[in-house]
Amino acid sequence: MASSKSIIEGLAKITTLGSVFYNPVQEFNRDLSLTVISTFAKKYIPWKKENKRKEEDIVTAIDEPREAGIKYDDGIYLLEALSATGLRSIRYAKEIPGIKEIVANDISIKAVEDIKRNVEENNVNHLVTPAQNDATLLMYAHKRDNQFDVIDLDPYGCPSIFLDSAIQAVKDGGLLLVTATDMAVLAGNSPETCYSKYGAISLKSKYCHEMSLRILLQCIESHANRYGRYIVPLLSLSADFYVRVFVKVFSGAHKCKFSTSKLSYVFNCTGCDSFELQPLGVLKKNEKNPKNVKFSIPTGPSVNKKCQHCNQSYHMGGPIWSAPLHDPAFVSDVLMSASDKLGTFKRIHGVLSVISEELVDQPLYYVLDKLAGTLHVSTPPVMTIRSAILNAGYKVSFTHMHKTSLKTDAPATVIWDIMRCWQKLNPVSEKRLHENSPAKNILDKQPEKEYDFTHHPDANPASRKMGFLRFQENPLPFWGPGTRSTAMVGDAKMVKSKKNQGKRKREEESPENTEDNLV
């Protein structure tokens, strides 16, 4: 008989039998998700009641207070497409106010048995409906009638196979939550695989986590555009071993024409890791009528054959989503509504604080350690470099994706000039400057001016001053994506790894593979 395990998280208590997948590290993911959905629902429910359809339609937040655990006929209709134990759906039912119904679906018979039992034990039968179905088929069945207000996709690995059905099954103005855990593919270890899964070439670079988010967003946008729909990102997050995005979905053929201006190719220098973006499309405004725009194709490429900074070659990646990753007003609302009773509240508060400080309109970022390492110079204090950028009249921020990140509107020429000035104060040994190396080619050029490293009053952001938990702590036991659930659709199926044990030996000993038969 399969052993059982009890799990308490938030207001939910569940038991699992056998090998149905559960990952405790994902508590942060679940805590943040239910906070985002709760914040979204406050404005979406009245927006839906008034039959709004366009992104521009504004309504005030819901007036009457709503309680969690109570069924509302005009509330949120939510699908958790890949539910496993049902923990997430049960927590949504018990902790998100204004729910109409939650469909907790899984293709595994054993998983659905767990879901049914856990729903019963948590007394949320009136809110959670277990379903045993292929997730894509279930969503296709809702693409015209009875669409969902919210769809949560949190698969093991790549989510792209679910996007076509999900983008059709969510209502106008509805919320789509998507997780991707195949970070090796998204972060540049296998560009050809990334293209086959996401329709974009990934690059191995220091800004790979942000590029992963932007590849995922462009993939969702490309699926949406096929059906005259488009996305508006509310929050995009890189955490632990995954990326997760929260986007609203709208319909509008004309708005889809703006998609090319939201996408770009990336040219990344193989020597110094500098980057340039080449948009797929540009918008030209009519001076007489600013509301009218002309859609144009840009000239290019935006870089020379060799990098102007270090004289090395470029790699080209993308396309990526180059429009904003977040809606600052929404992030602020989520930050204010996060409950201090959540198990990961401190981390949610810290990460969202950093996100609220990020520059919205500057794709990708530099990493201070990489800048210093390229020149073989001692790494300067991050406050010193931030001050130099601010003193030069540019903007700079951290990003939640890297501790020493520099997200800035300063061009790469300014960044390298600042590093040249730092090198003058901290000279590099000539022995380390090999002929035609990136370091020598960069340092052979003189900075256009002397940059001021005096401390700037805005160099230290509020989240850092307040000592918020901005970045993930040291990995916990079992940290990582874990292994795919071994609960199968039917009992007759064998686990693949067990089935293949000793396969090579059996083949070698087979009479068909004797020397006589191999002549």
Q: Which residue has the tokens 């590849």?
A: 215
Q: What is the mean pLDDT of the chain?
A: 89
* Predicted confidence (pLDDT) at residue 19 exceeds the cutoff of 50: yes
The answer to which of 9-13, 232-236, 387-391, 470-474 has the lowest mean pLDDT is: 470-474
- The number of angstroms, rounded, from the C-alpha of 214 to the middle of its chain's C-alpha atoms is 7
For the chain, percent of residues with pLDDT exceeding 90: 76
Question: What average pLDDT score do residues 473-478 get?
Answer: 55
Query: Domains, the chain, ranges and CATH?
Result: 7-357 (3.40.50.150), 366-460 (no CATH)
| The pair of three-digit structure tokens given for residue 185, joined into one six-digit string | 């593919």
| The pair of three-digit structure tokens given for residue 69, joined into one six-digit string | 């655990």
Helix-strand-coil split of the chain, %, nearest 5: 35, 25, 40
pLDDT band at 501 (very low <50, low <70, confident <90, very high): low
Query: pLDDT tens-digit profile of 488-499?
Result: 444 434 445 555
**Res 479: pLDDT:** 55
Task: Decide if 42 contacts 72 (C-beta within 8 A).
Answer: no
φ, ψ dihedrals at 327, nearest 5°:
-105, 105
Contacts of 327 (CB under 8 A, 6+ apart): 232, 233, 234, 235
* Predicted confidence (pLDDT) at residue 226 exceeds the cutoff of 90: yes
**Res 419: pLDDT:** 97
Query: pLDDT tens-digit profile of 174-213?
Result: 999 999 999 999 999 999 999 999 999 999 999 999 999 9
Question: What average pLDDT score do residues 302-317 get?
Answer: 95
Query: pLDDT tens-digit profile of 373-407?
Result: 999 999 999 999 999 999 999 999 999 999 999 99
**Res 5: pLDDT:** 76
* Predicted confidence (pLDDT) at residue 301 exceeds the cutoff of 70: yes
**Res 468: pLDDT:** 87
What string of H, E and C letters represents the secondary structure of 202-218? CCCCCCHHHHHHHHHHH
Question: What average pLDDT score do residues 296-321 get?
Answer: 94
Question: What average pLDDT score do residues 426-449 get?
Answer: 93
* Predicted confidence (pLDDT) at residue 121 exceeds the cutoff of 60: yes
